[in-house]
Amino acid sequence: MLHVTITGMESLPLLKYLVEAGLGSRRQVVAAIKLGRVAVNGKQAESYTMPVYPQADRITFDGQPVSFHRQVKIVLMLNKPLGLLTTTSDDRGRKTVLDILPAEYRGLGLYPVGRLDHDTTGLLLLTNDGNLTYRLTHPRFELGKEYLVYTEGLLKPQEKESLEKGVLLDDGMTAPATIGEISYDPPYNYSITIHEGRTRQVRRMFAHLGYTVRSLKRVRMGNLRLVNLKEGSFRKLSAQEIASALREHKK
């Protein structure tokens, strides 16, 4: 959304301004505004939809001026190894997914799209495109995420059916899932596709039935697949691949 005053000076919604400036995803920026971390001309911002004027207004984040610039949008696909945190920094000094990127990708405002637990491997996207992040993570778009699961023991038919229909966890019923037995990528013995993003959801779904997930790897998000990308490696996605990822859940 673009506003234009009668004098011809262009304005942008504060949310769009901050996302375009590389301050984070839409969700992160909204949270920062709610916490009072953003000010416009010395006054705390109260609405993420308020119009701001890049040419005239002084916008600060945690007291520091925000320089407006439309960054080149980048999307990387990473095959996340075990032990890395899916975050941009850690106050305890632990290694994050950004730490394994080359220097050329530092300072571009990249952040993870969604998250993978430190003990989960596989497909993770990194970007500085807040609008893309919104479309890939918001529940209304129901993006399919496929995981390979290694668990000791095999599900009984009724247990498999239960997981597919949904199970009651401490944060509510899970949405329907798709589960199949596999043998093409040992030691993984199951494939499961979910359309939610709850914390440790797949592990909790199996634990609900008494099974412990020993290894978990995400191999697909939408139409994006990990394929032959080696663990710890990454590649830049093309515009065609990004469009394909969004096509699965276009509304």
When comparing pLDDT for 161 and 91, which is higher? 161
Q: Is pLDDT at 3 greater than 60 in this prediction?
A: no
pLDDT of residue 8: 47
47, two tokens: 């609405």
Claim to verify: residue 204 and residue 230 sit in the same structural domain? no
pLDDT of residue 132: 85
Q: Is pLDDT at 212 greater than 60 in this prediction?
A: yes
Catalytic (active-site) positions: 117
Mean pLDDT across 105-111: 85
Q: Total structural domains in the chain? A: 3
Selection from 21, 114, 8 nearest residue 66 by Cα: 21
70 pLDDT band, cuts 50/70/90, is: low
- The model carries a pTM of 0.74
Q: Give the number of residues written for the chain.
A: 251
Q: Does residue 31 lie within any of the structural domains? A: yes
Q: Does residue 70 lie within any of the structural domains? A: no
Per the DSSP assignment, residues forming a β-bridge with 224 are 221
Taking each continuous run of H as one helix and of E as one strand, the counts in the chain are: 6, 18
Claim to verify: residue 47 and residue 170 sit in the same structural domain? no
Report the SS3 class of residue 159.
helix
Q: Is pLDDT at 186 greater than 80 in this prediction?
A: yes
pLDDT tens for residues 233-248?
A: 999 999 888 888 777 5
Phi, psi (deg, nearest 5) at residue 162: -65, -45
Q: Are strands 121-127 and 213-221 parallel, antiparallel or unpaired?
A: parallel
Its domain, for residue 105, covers: 75-138+226-247
pLDDT tens for residues 6-38?
A: 244 578 899 988 888 878 888 889 999 999 999
Report the SS3 class of residue 183.
coil
Q: Taking a C-beta distance cutoff of 8 angstroms, is the pair 232, 226 a contact?
A: no
Claim to verify: residue 93 and residue 215 sit in the same structural domain? no
Q: Does residue 57 lie within any of the structural domains? A: yes
Residue 203 Rama label (left phi>0; alpha psi -120 to 50; beta): alpha
Mean pLDDT of the chain: 88
Mean pLDDT across 128-147: 84
When comparing pLDDT for 202 and 142, which is higher? 202
**Domain CATH number, residue 212:** 3.30.70.1560
Phi, psi (deg, nearest 5) at residue 147: -125, 150
- Write the DSSP assignment of 213-249 as a string of letters: EEEEEEEEETTEE-TTPPTT-EEEPPHHHHHHHHHTT
